Structure 1
């Protein structure tokens, strides 16, 4: 009877006859409902951060496939600005996700194109390439992207054991090695 009540099934085949059990049965049913609700809520909250992380990895992979860093000198300042600002924003969102949902760090992506740990190095390469372009938009874009990568390294350094004076490159390398 206890299992049926906790699972909130309530078949009605077995009914409590003792007064104490009749009082505790609804409490047990509410406990079962709360456990079920909490479990489903956690699952529903964990997938959006994982999806955003995978989307960022796919975007970085696409930029790498297009060899965006090598072509950055030939691109318009508006294009450079748009791409770096967009990447910085996506990196900031992933940083917030890692801070608010720290358990997502331990989820590993099977597809290497969707694994941020495998694609994040291209953000560093892109940041370096954009920093070499001599326009105001490129300097601002490189600075924004660099700051976002610095912020991403903070929660990652806590998971990888690289807290302290480790640089962004070391933290991201440790993240890649860990995954």
Structure 2
């Protein structure tokens, strides 16, 4: 029975890692539960999104994967302790869960002290298999981190570019540019918005990251992107109208992702983006500006 439970924990860990890192549009149940729980807790106690909530949640997910693996393999070893293992001189022979956890941790980390080694060939294969999975888990977590932060950088870059565009054009808006130049910029924004949509689908955990600076916050700039798309679609220049339709379509697709994957409600994209901004709101300073 213990072996069955142990194998179940190992399979749960493997399934969660697969859906989080290898499945193109998903997140494992353990990862999704931890990320969402810490996100909600941070908003509940701090009254707003907290910058460190998502990084802490990622660390918690990695810890959960390691814990599931260690406990799962320990339960596989436990029925075979102590008779199934050879102990070095001076090492007490114990058959409790603590001993099984120690063997599991040593095997998973590939440390291999050698004072307790399996005697049966089948157990040797099991410990070797755990060492392989431990190395794979380490590689997977590093890859996860390396994949997540470029996606965050693309999102921040889009928000920053929109803010720079708003600052540069001022009250004149797109009328400060030639239609061709404005159309090229809007098409660039549309491509960036589409990329953000794909990033949210492929890396669900990036949704829970809250930007430390307001100028890098995409939720706070999507309303302005919608305004640009509407103005462009009403322009008489055909190139600018087409660029406006592209940006509008990209924003609608992003709203569908937020609605379908992250539970934002709203019949219109404007309502979805308002909900998105509310969840990721920044603290207001006394002067009325966001931090």
User: TM-score by structure 1 length?
Assistant: 0.88
Give 5+ residue unaligned stretches, structure 1.
Answer: none
Tell me which residue corresponds to 1:175.
Answer: 276
Equivalent residue for 1:93?
A: 195
User: 2 CA distance for matches of 1:74 and 1:81?
Assistant: 12
CA contact (8 A) 1:69 1:130 kept: no
Aligned length: 176
**Per-residue deviation at 1:11?**
4.0
Question: Post-superposition shift, 1:102?
Answer: 2.0
Match of 2:212 in 1: 110
Q: Segments of 4+ in structure 1 off by > 6 A? A: none
User: Could you say what the CA RMSD is over the residues aligned between the two structures, in angstroms?
Assistant: 1.9
- Deviation at residue 21 of structure 1 after TM alignment: 4.1
Instruction: State how far apart, in whole Å, the 2-side matches of 1:167 and 1:23 are.
Output: 57
Counterpart secondary structure, 1:116: coil
For 1:24 and 1:172, how far apart are their aligned partners in 2?
A: 50
- Asked if 1 retains the 8 angstrom alpha-carbon contact of 2:169 and 2:176, the reply is no
1:36 maps onto 2:124 in alignment: no
Q: Which has the larger radius of gyration?
A: 2
* Residues 166 and 173, structure 2, Cα contact 8 Å, conserved in 1: no
Show CA shifts across 1:149-174 (max 9, x none).
111110111214316xx111111101
CA distance in 2, matches of 1:53, 1:39: 22
- TM-score, scaled relative to structure 2: 0.56
> Residues of 1 paired with 2:244 and 2:170: CA distance?
14
Q: 1:65 to 1:85 in 2, by over 3 A?
A: same
Distance in structure 1 (CA, Å) of the matches to 2:268 and 2:171: 22
Distance 1:161 1:117 in 2: 12
Q: Which residue of 1 aligns with 2:119?
A: 18
Deviates more, 1:138-147 or 1:123-132: 123-132
Aligned twin of 1:53: 155
Q: Which runs of 5+ in 2 are unaligned?
A: 1-102, 281-291
SS, match of residue 112 in structure 2: coil
Please tell me whether the aligned partners of residues 158 and 218 of structure 2 are also in contact (alpha carbons under 8 angstroms): yes
Q: Secondary structure at the match of 1:117?
A: coil
2:264 matched to which residue of 1? 161
Q: Write the distance in 1 (CA, Å) between the matches of 2:113 and 2:167.
A: 58
